[in-house]
Structure 1
Amino acid sequence: MDAQEYATVAFNVYASRYASIAGYVLMLYDHTLTFDEEVRFIWAAPWTLPKTLFLIIRYFVPAFVVIHLCQLTGLNTFSDMVCKVWFNISACMGIITIAIGNFLALMHIWNLWERDGRLMVLTSCLFVATQIANIICLTFSLVHITESVYFNSTFSMCMLSDRHSAGIIWAPGVAFEVVIFSALFWNALSRPRYLEDDFTKILYRDGFAYILVVFVLRLMNLILSFVAPLSLIFLGIFFIWCSTTMTVTRLVLDVTRMAEKRALQMFQIELTRFEYNDEDSEL
């Protein structure tokens, strides 16, 4: 590389590093802020599928990303083979955790539609079809991309020598978010009477926030994978991984907190009604 090309690559590498570190720090900061709610609402609850999925993305993602940051920031020296193996493992783990986040968001949509059977079947089929498409796209991409993964000794990090078909990894997820966002928006327009309820306002707000955040960041990754220089292709990958994890855990905790608040309000209403009826009967 000549001096100008080296300077450009170095700038892109450092931009990717800073973006990844920023996403990780934000995720850990949010984890610290919400840890008391996690203990109260999640750890104290019985073991269910949503609880298990929540804890997987809550703790597996930080563990995987911190290992990525070690190689991304040049703190270790790897071989080309280590980079190839780790790239495949992390890509699979990324798809799995994003799928978990999408499923938790899907359960949120079901609650908004009062668990309508037809909607649950249709969206479940959409979710399964999206994951099958993700697996196909991921497999196709990894077969072509793995050979281009190597360890760059100049910057002490794993890099790509050819983008191949990296962009298609994000395509099924973008399509899924568009459909889910449309369903959420349609529900908000077609059933406005429910917006008078504080609990449902929180559901809508967090649902829109989650879908928008994931859609925008994943769309950014899709665009970068096609048009960005190879040295900038990792700019948004770890940031979106941390951001989606932070957003979906916030979604689950907010909904759980509001559900407890709503249950307490209903209990107080019933208790007041019981006391009133008891006084009435004495009279």
Structure 2
Amino acid sequence: MTLVSNDPSLWPSINSYRIFSYFTVAASVGVIYDWALTFGQEVDLFWRRRRSLMAILYLSIRYIGIGYVILKTLTNIPTISLTDSGCRIMYITLESTNEVVDVMLGVILIARLNAMWQSKKMLVFLVAIFLTIRTANAVMAAISMMHVSVEEVVLSGTYGCNTDYVGDTILLYTITWILSMALEVLLLCLTLWIAVKHLRELRQYSTGCIIEDCYAVLMKTHVSYFAR
């Protein structure tokens, strides 16, 4: 049910919401402008060449991100009425998009680490950890979205969507955030570990510039998964 109020005590909050909406619109314009500037390079580097799985994932994230920004902007424009059902659809769409993008980014990171480690055991370990955490997060996110109350609010002529987290929803979101952060920290530690290992090997066997040798190793390992 749409909540309508003209309480003057809410005016400071309304002004803050309007200022935030200006920044959201400005950010959306910047994203679209950047896409327009680089679209020619995208056609040359992607659409006219053989496409690999990693390139497809990168491009998918690019366009999903643009769509996400546009939807986020629509939900924050204070003159657009979305109704209760529209607010809930927007909320579910944005949350689902976050989950999809997280999965795609995780696949890219695992591919990069696999290119650096060149170890089947490490790949199996990363895939197992990734699937466990992402599956748990997806289940908890689905449960949270089912129990979240989303409704339209109209405050002194300003439209918006109000999200009410009931029950254990906040706890579930906190757990998903902790698990996601733990995965990110693990991937970061593994990246630093293999980087230090490569530097030590180069220091022992290299007679030239260590930085140049390290750059060459990184180029060889990372080019392998882009070429697939």
Tell me the equivalent position of 1:185: 192
1:38 and 2:42 correspond: yes
State the AA in 2 paired with 1:189.
Answer: V
Do 2:71 and 2:90's aligned partners in 1 also have CA atoms closer than 8 Å? Answer: no
Do 2:46 and 2:55's aligned partners in 1 also have CA atoms closer than 8 Å? Answer: yes
Tell me the equivalent position of 2:146: 143
Alpha-carbon spacing, 1:4–1:79, altered in 2? closer, same or farther (3 Å): closer
**For this pair of structures, how many residues does the alignment match?**
204
Match of 1:197 among 172, 194, 214: 214
Do 2:88 and 2:150's aligned partners in 1 also have CA atoms closer than 8 Å? Answer: yes
Q: CA deviation at 1:182?
A: 0.7
1:155-196 Cα deviation digits (max 9, x unpaired): 312121347424444332211111100101111112202853
Higher strand share: 2
- Identity, in percent, stands at 19
- Distance (Å, rounded) in 2 between the aligned partners of 1:202 and 1:30: 27
Report matched runs for 1:89-168 at 5 Å: 89-113=93-117, 115-145=118-148, 148-154=149-155, 155-162=158-165, 164-165=169-170, 166-168=173-175
- Distance (Å, rounded) in 2 between the aligned partners of 1:48 and 1:174: 28
Tell me the equivalent position of 2:181: 174
For structure 2, the residue ranges without an aligned partner over 5 or more in a row are 203-209
- Distance (Å, rounded) in 2 between the aligned partners of 1:168 and 1:17: 29
Q: TM-score, normalised by structure 1?
A: 0.61
| Secondary structure of 2:151's aligned partner | strand
- Distance (Å, rounded) in 1 between the aligned partners of 2:110 and 2:31: 22
Higher helix share: 1
Q: TM-score, normalised by structure 2?
A: 0.74
Tell me the equivalent position of 1:238: none
- Distance (Å, rounded) in 1 between the aligned partners of 2:79 and 2:61: 25
Do 1:70 and 1:76's aligned partners in 2 also have CA atoms closer than 8 Å? Answer: yes
Do 2:21 and 2:77's aligned partners in 1 also have CA atoms closer than 8 Å? Answer: yes
Alpha-carbon spacing, 1:12–1:95, altered in 2? closer, same or farther (3 Å): farther
1:198-243 Cα deviation digits (max 9, x unpaired): 3556799xxxxxxxxxxxxxxxxxxxxxxxxxxxxxxxxxxxxxxx
Alpha-carbon spacing, 1:3–1:170, altered in 2? closer, same or farther (3 Å): same
